[in-house]
Amino acid sequence: MFFHIVLERNMQLHPRYFGRNLRDNLVSKLMKDVEGTCSGRHGFVVAVTGIENIGKGLIRDGTGFVTFPVKYQCVVFRPFKGEILEAVVTMVNKMGFFAEAGPVQIFVSNHLIPDDMEFQSGDIPNYTTSDGSVKIQKDSEVRLKIIGTRVDATEIFCIGTIKDDFLGVINDPTTV
């Protein structure tokens, strides 16, 4: 799920960036440092949407660097248990498959895949229904439900299932 939140960060800026463009340099450094990162508490920072406040800078002794407290608004992505997501399959093996929904990686165990689907090894490993009508392989788009998350300091891992109503393959790359 996506949230729009306010975060704070202390930004260090080298003296060569001081001058008329100080604010612009600070904002571009903030975007470069923060966008695409993950904090276990808030989730993945997708984009910085605005700057609320830039505090007074504090000169660091001996280096000339200045530390500015910056309060900014951003969009974050944080998956929750029970959430339905659409994801792209990245790897298939006999244990299940891995899929990615944006920056988060989701594992779906073979126990959480419908019973009528069986693993087929070969040059393109996949899970196929007995009649061959549905196939899950690399680059397939699937709709899945998150049944568990594990949050580390810098990463979020998820376990998903497609063993429920209206879940499973949305788009098969072989039919395109």
CATH of the domain at 49: 3.30.1490.120
- The pLDDT of residue 122: 87
| Number of domains observed in the structure of the chain | 2
pLDDT mean over 39-58 = 92
**Which residue among 34, 53, 77 closes a domain?**
77
Please indicate, yes or no, if residue 176 is contained in any of the structural domains.
no
Q: Which pLDDT value is given to residue 176?
A: 56
User: Over the stretch 69-116, which tens digit does the pLDDT of each residue have?
Assistant: 999 999 999 999 999 999 999 999 999 999 999 889 999 999 999 999
Residue 155 belongs to a domain: yes
Question: How many C-beta neighbours within 10 Å does residue 119 have?
Answer: 17
pLDDT confidence of residue 67: 95
Give the percent of the chain with pLDDT over 70: 99
pLDDT at 175: 66
The yes-or-no verdict on residue 144 having pLDDT over 70 is: yes
Same domain, 91 and 163: yes
Has residue 58 been placed in a domain?
Answer: yes
Mean pLDDT computed over every residue of the chain: 92
pLDDT value for 22: 92
How confident is the model over 131-159, as a mean pLDDT?
91
Range of the domain at 110: 84-171
Token code pair at residue 16 = 């060569």
Same domain, yes or no: 41 and 66: yes
Amino acid at 106: I
Q: Nearest-CA neighbor of 89 among 80, 101, 98?
A: 98
Where does a domain end: 38, 53, 77? 77
Helical segments of 8-131, H only: 22-34
Query: Which among 150, 52, 162 is positioned nearest to 99, based on CA atoms?
Result: 162
Q: Are residues 73 and 94 in the same domain?
A: no
Task: Looking at the structure, tell me whether residues 66 and 107 fall in a common domain.
Answer: no
Residues 6 or more apart in contact with residue 133 via CB below 8 angstroms: none
Query: Tell me, what DSSP letter sits at residue 153?
Result: S
C-alpha–C-alpha distance, residues 104 and 85, integer Å:
11
pTM for the whole thing? 0.84
Q: Which of 11, 21, 20, 13 is nearest to 63 (CA)?
A: 13
Q: Clarify whether residues 94 and 141 are in a common domain.
A: yes
Q: Is 88 exposed, middle or buried (0-12, 13-18, 19+ CB in 10 A)?
A: middle
Residues 155 and 95 in one domain: yes
55 and 109 assigned to the same domain: no
